Amino acid sequence: MSNADMQYLNLVQDILDNGYYESENRTGIPTYKIPHQIFRFDLQKEFPILTTKFVAFKTSVKELLWIYRDQSNDVKKLQEEGVHIWDEWMKEDGTIGTAYGYVVKEYKQLDNLIEGLKNNPQNRRHIMSLWQIPFLEGGSLYPCAFMTMWDVTGDKLNCMLVQRSGDVPLGVPFNMTQYAVLVHLIAQVTGLKPGIFTHVINNAHIYENQVEGMKLQLTRRNDAYEAPKLYINPEIKNFYDFTIDDIKLIDYKYHPAIKMEVAI
């Protein structure tokens, strides 16, 4: 079993067994929740993606590139690539407003991070934050996975992702995988090796209408596969030159997708 499956399914079981039943939230769909959950992955040993259900790797990476490479809020750009995960939050102008890629660009966060990692690696202020108070109300949705904190130890690049709200069945597997990719990409363009990736979830929850899907996934625990390998085109040295074709999974084996609803 992959380490990602093990940590993830342990969290799912804990929520189903011990989660606090929250009858009211923004979506109107009750949840079972547990606060302050932490995943930790050594990216030198394994790439974290679930095998007990299919995770749409290319879709997750396309969203990542949309946020950090394109620094875009234009939902139509995603739609042109066959990605429709932001359709429900698209404003009349075709964007998600002042959220995600918008604030990355506004504060030149990606450029500042890469420059800092190259020129002052031991700085303790390597942070990208999508939680920019002046722009929160102008976005379609407050950012969920909203902050990354970066550390250089020796020749390794470590990253902590902080997520205020984690839809464990649908959102968390995406975020876990795509931010692990981000660590690999930034490590490559800064001349470092990917190190420890830590994923902190403030509110880890399963919606009531997702419980049966999670129970099904738990039945696959003993049949989980080994983790795949991540391939990144070694020729790319500029972050903005990465394309979806430069980032691939090798030998990704998985169980079928589990259909569950997104709470809007």
Catalytic positions, written as ranges: 144
Cα dihedral sign for 100, 101, 104, 107?
Answer: negative
Question: Are the CB atoms for 154 and 190 separated by under 8 Å?
Answer: no
Backbone angles phi, psi at 82, to 5 degrees: 80, 20
H helices of 107-227, in order, are 109-119, 133-136, 171-189, 211-218
Distance separating alpha carbons of residues 161 and 197, to the nearest angstrom: 8
Closest CA to 173 of 37, 10, 60: 60
Between vectors from CA 52 to CA 49 and to CA 56, what angle results, nearest 5°?
Answer: 50
How would you class 159 by CB atoms within 10 Å of its CB: exposed for 0-12, middle for 13-18, buried for 19 or more?
buried
Between vectors from CA 147 to CA 106 and to CA 10, what angle results, nearest 5°?
Answer: 150
